[in-house]
Each structure stands twice: as C-alpha cells, then as structure tokens.
Structure 1
Amino acid sequence: MAGSLRDILDDHWKVLESDHPTNSNRLRTSDLPVEGRDGRLLAAVDADGLRHILIPISRKQRVRRQLDGANLRVAERALETSTTYTRYADVSCLNQELNDLFSDVCSDVLLAVASSPDKALGATHLVLDRWRSLFSTSSSVLGESRLTGLFAELWVLRRLLTKSSSAVSMWAGPAGYCHDFAFGADAFEVKATTATDGRRVRIHGLDQLDAPHNGRLFVAWMRLQSRPDGHSLVDLVSEVLNLSDDQAALVDKLQQSGYRLADSDWYRDIRFEVVEDAWYAVDAEFPRLTITQLSDSGLPVLVADVAYTIELPDPATSGLDASAVEALHERVMKDIAP
C-alpha cells in the first residue's frame, strides 16, 4: 500500500508543480485520499516549487517545530477560505535533490495517519523521528580515500544492478563484512586508487583476502582520475538508487558507508574517470597474507589489526579478460531474483 500512496503523492505534486503559486506566502494544494480526525491531508507546492504535505490538527494541538539541517522543515500553518479556517502541521522538503526520499517519508505519513486517524499528529511525529537522521546534514564528509573506495564499490554495484535489481542485498562491505560483496560461496573485494603509477593496494586484516569457505574470492581494482568532465559521484548514487528495487536498504548502506543523501551538495564536484578497471581471481599465485595460510603452515595466529600492502600483477597477464568478468557477474547473480 505504501508504494501506491507514494505514486499518488508524486502524481499530485507533479500536477501542482505545473502551475505553482507566484505569491511567496501561498500554497497550491490538492486533497489526498487519507483523512484524519480533523480533516483530509493535503499535498502542496509553494512559490519556490518546494513540496509540502499538510496534516490537519485541532485548535488545541501544537506542532513540534523543527528544522533539520537545510533539508526538512516542520512548522504550523493555517489555511483560510471564505468559509473555513484549518490549522495544519506543514512538513516540507527544502532540498529538491531529496524529493524522492521525501516521497518515501510522506507515503509513510499517509499510511500512519490512515492507521491512526484519531492521532494524526502523533503518527506524523513518529514517522518523522524515524526518518529525520537521513535529512540531517552531517558534521563531517568523506575524505579522499573513502570517497574513491565508495565510488569504486558503487561502480561495481551499478553493473550488478543491471543483472538484478535486488543486487543491493549482496553489498556487504558497509555492514563491516570482510568482503565488499558476498554471494554465498563467492565474494568480491573492491579496491581503488588515484595514484598515477603502480598497483599498490592496502589490505586490512588477515581475512580480507581469504576466500569464503569452499568458495572463491575475486578482487576488482580501479585506477581513478579526478576530472571535471568525469562521472559524478552524486549521479552515480542516483543511478544505483533508480536501478534498485530496495531504495531504503540502499540508503541505509550508503549511510553506513559515511555518505548521506543530505550532504549531496558537498559532493557535487566529485567526479572521476575510471582509467583502469581490472579484475583478478585470488588463487595460489595471488599476493596475500591470510589466516588460512598461517594456519595451514602450523603457525598460531596470535596477532590482530594486521594491515599490509601488496603490488597487484599486470592485469594483461594475470587478470580476467572482459568476457570472463561478464561471465562471472552473470554467474554470481543468476540465483538472485530480478
């Protein structure tokens, strides 16, 4: 039902946006198919083209006013006609880049009010409290190393999403798993660099290059070059969101990675060209130090927090060719529902 309510909201806003008011103090509104104790909820658009949802409240109720960063605002608003005067909780999105996310929030509001029409304001506050952190701008943004790593992982994720819209469930790195993508018996580890020469890769932990039990591990490595005409990180995020059938899970994983949609303006100028894109099967010849190797040698593993650097071999002689990479992606995604 939430999905259909989201579509209804989007349809209302699109119609309202086609002719929004010219007076900055006015809203153009339309009735939504959900009614609380004090009246019907409204979709609205203001003179700046910003989207609102209005929840009617009683004369005795007061709205908990809040402004989250520069993105989400909750305020009290009264609408008056020649015959009516109605007070509303006015929830608005101040950043049009977040309209898709705002649609999800408002569809949850509609669903909550429909379930508790006598407690429309309380239901709205509960929904907003659940979503609020995604609209708040963070006090820190990602540095270069984490940005390049995230870009590379999203580059791989986008390719997997073209095979299955459910590929987000395979992205395991944000949750702290030892490999970036996990497919049961197989796994991918993704590495990236902006260095102009060499193929040095920093490995974190003795398990990062250990294959899953009875499975295989593959390493994707990219050389990225920062260029003003490169591929935008913000656009890449939008692409994977549009390809995914579980946007909420993807937003959560982006947040776990340190990327918040509310901070998109900070990343607007982050653009990379993928200069090299190499894939390797981690086999007996691949440079690595792992728990399995140490255990097989009879050495007790009494160390922790191990980090080391390897030099990747020439992909022309040791990497997978394009057809092998394509076949690999088809194989790991074949059992994932589209």
Structure 2
Amino acid sequence: MSNTKDGSYLSAGGEFTRDQRYIATRITEDGRDGYPVEPGRYRLVVSRACPWANRVIIVRRLLGLEDVLSMGVAGPTHDARSWTFDLDPGGRDPVLGIERLQEAFFARFPGYERGITVPAIVDVPTGQVVTNDYAQMTLDLSTQWRAHHRSGAPDLYPEALRAEIDEVNAVVFADVNNGVYRCGFAGSQEAYARAYHRLFDRLDWLSARLEGQRYLVGDTITEADVRLFTTLVRFDAVYHGHFKCNRQKLTEQPVLWAYARDLFQTPGFGDTIDFDHIKRHYYEVHRDINPSGIVPEGPDLTNWLDPHGREALGGSPFGAGSPPAPPRSDETVPAGHTPLAA
C-alpha cells in the first residue's frame, strides 16, 4: 500500500489500475542479487493498516522469524510524501533512525518517483531499501529463509502444491485483493459496476470451494490462505462501506465468515490484526472518498471470536507442526484495537 503524490485515489473517469512496478531485488540464500539472507541485517517496515504488509507480518510470525528479521511499524496514516514512524519515540524508527520510509528509498534511489510502499525491507547497515515487492517477499521468507524457521513452522508454499497455490493466488489477487480497490477507487459508475460484480462472483466461487474443505489448497494453511485472509478481515470494517462492496457483509456470507473466523482464531493470524489502525488508515487518508475523515465506531468485533465449526471439515492449521509462540511484548497489538484478550 502506498501514498499518492497528490493525495487523490479515485481514478478519474474510469477503472482503477494498480501500479505494479516494485523493486524486484530479492534477499536469497545464495545472495544472487547482492543481498544474502543474514540474521539481523535487515528490517521489515510495515503498517498494520495495510493488507499487503499484513501478509508479511503473518508469515514472519508463522515461520518464527522475529529474532532474525526485525520489524518497524509505521503509523496508520501518511501524507503525500511517505509513511512515517510517528508511533516511535521522537517520531523515528529506533533501528533505522529515520522519520519517513521515503528516506530509505531515496538512500538507494535518489529522487525515487514511484510509490513509497509498505511492506519494505531495508538493509540496516546502509539504510537503503532492498525490496518492496510484497508478493515475492512472503514466498522468499518461506523458501529462502528456511534455515532460520522455528521448529514446527508450517510449509506455507509446499513444492507439490505450488502450481495450485499460484493459480488460486492469481485469481484472488485480481478479483478480491485488488478487486475491493477497483470498487473503491473506480472513477465511473460503469467501472464500479464491473469491479463489484467481478468481486462478488469470485467470493461466491471461493465460498463454493471452501464449503467442503477447510483451507484453500491442501489440508493445512498455505500462502493462499494468508493472502485471502488479509482482505476478508478488513471487509466489514472498511470495504463494505468505504469501498461500496455492499452486496453482503462478510458476516452475511456463512462459509467465508466461518473460514475467516477459523483463521482469525489461529495463532499468527488474528493476533496481527489492529482494527483501529485499519479503520483510521482508510477513513482518514482517503479524503476524496471520505472528505470528513470521520472514522466509524462500528462494526462490533466481538463476533470474530464466535465458534466457527470448521474443524469438522478435517485438516489442521499446522499439519505435523505447531503453532507459533505468542507475539513478543513489543509487537503485541494493543488490547483496545483487537477483540482478542490482552
């Protein structure tokens, strides 16, 4: 998720098109791009508001990489220039020493003209951004950082299932992850209608797929579940109203609602979710959609903890592995921002 240069998000007169030009540098086991996997060398910069960053937060938790890849959390809002570290003392990231993520981008690419996006991984010794390619980032954490995974970590991208995971991810991205934005940022009634029907047709497809199986691919959680979850968990709080994705709320779609609750209650998923940051970001930043900047009080979030009954479908989240330890004290979502017990 990125800032825009002029503060405008609506696509004048037509369909929203996401800028997909990311920094493609990879951190790999063999260091082929000049950045080898190395514990303590890199810092992951995220915002808990952002669904794309939320994916990496979840994967990092599930794989147990907290001690080898530190994490800086930007505030839930930003201006036209950049995400800022306003949650930290003095407004500076304590490891990178910068006030704005923009500084890390400019350190490597002076005058960088594309979006300053989260998630981003920064090389701590040089202060330079390495990559903001969020889709590749989570796959690399699963495949390139394997030597540093915790004992019992799940295989989120198993070789035998990669083709199917990639296929599911492609349609979920086009129609759901990005589809909600295509609704919200549409610049014409026609573009909105196309995006709206495409979104709900795909949600119906997903509901049919998940009616008889607990997870999207295979019988344990995979990368595919992570990618769908971060959109579903924001659906009623933001997308239903703010982005006009209002055929139904998630809570009115029984299969997807139970599936989302199942994941939310799985360690590593719901304990990364900050509903306060999520709502503040969308409603305060997108002023061309919500000029008043008023953040809604609802919806009621306690129902995320209701029983989901999905265990009856078989499978188990971690297969032969085990759940991650509770979040570190310095990475715990504040109690007032989540329905989970403090």
TM range (shorter): under 0.3
Higher relative strand content: 1
Higher RCO, 1 or 2 (CA under 8 Å, sep at least 6)?
A: 2
Q: If the length of structure 2 is used for normalisation, what is the TM-score?
A: 0.23
Q: If the length of structure 1 is used for normalisation, what is the TM-score?
A: 0.23
User: Which structure would you say has the larger Rg?
Assistant: 1
